Structure 1
Amino acid sequence: MRYLAKGCCAALALAAQIAAFVAPAHAGACWTERTMPAAGLRQLDVMLMVGSLQCRTGADDYRAEYDRFLSRHRAYLGGANHRILDEFSARLGPLAAMDALDHASVRMANHYGIRRTYGCHELKLVAAALANGPDEELDHAADVLVGPELEDGGCPGAGVAVAAAAPVAIPGNR
């Protein structure tokens, strides 16, 4: 019994050391007021990307619209990613910041892979409208389309935000 207690204490001490080492990386990856708008843009991009893959075999295949969306807004979306990375880097360091953004992006993709918020037809209309619009429209689209479902950035204890999205007027859809 004495050996079991020593083994248990050693395991707990090791777990505490690991938690102390890992916890700051996760805590530093939480969205802040500064990163929330950029995170919304990242999630909008991920939502459209995942949808384009899910919808590629149906009548509403919108991969061409998504490619135009990316071509038109690549620099703007890249700037949003850099704002996230800059803030994460200040707290975590550059390598951990890239890992944290990758982790958050995977969580976003998994969210949309499991739970579709919008159908293929709606996503096609959104991608087409955004592909032809100015960069500033992306901010509004992110607020409306993903704002209620913005992933938590991998923060411990926050869980996945799965609030229902507000009804959205899709351009050209009445």
Structure 2
Amino acid sequence: MGSLRSLRLAAGNFFRLHESHTFSSLRFTRNSDLKRMNGFCTKPQESHKAPTSTYSHRVPLHKPTDWEKRILIWSGRFQSKDQIPETISFEMLDAAKNKVRVKISYVMIALTVLGCVVMVIEGKKAAKRNESLTSLNLEKKARLREEASVKAKTE
């Protein structure tokens, strides 16, 4: 186990040593005017102009629509439309939409369970009245046969 560790250390030192010699000509520094880049000659740059507008690390803002304002209220983020600012971040809107999605899925789960309970109760009531799909189907077929025989006699 110890020899494996020493072998790893030796291999790591070897690669580090050769890496520093190999890539020294390719290393970039911040304020250097490079004449050579990866073995290719390049023209020197005339002058580096400072960008006119600097990049700001501000979060991009979004003006919410009426529907998005309703979502923000339903999610509990704000109490009324008056409290919602003119612009909001996309992260705030996504979080509100996700909350509303979760609430809607909970409502759908509750409605599904409620529907199942109602169907079980209705099924038990129908069983007490001796109604079943088989008996209803047999009655319907008998009625259709009678109508067909009456129609055949009249023609």
TM-score scaled by length of structure 2: 0.27
Structure whose alpha-carbon radius of gyration is higher: 2
TM-score scaled by length of structure 1: 0.25
Greater strand share, 1 or 2?
2
| Higher-RCO chain (CA-CA 8 Å, sequence separation at least 6) | 1
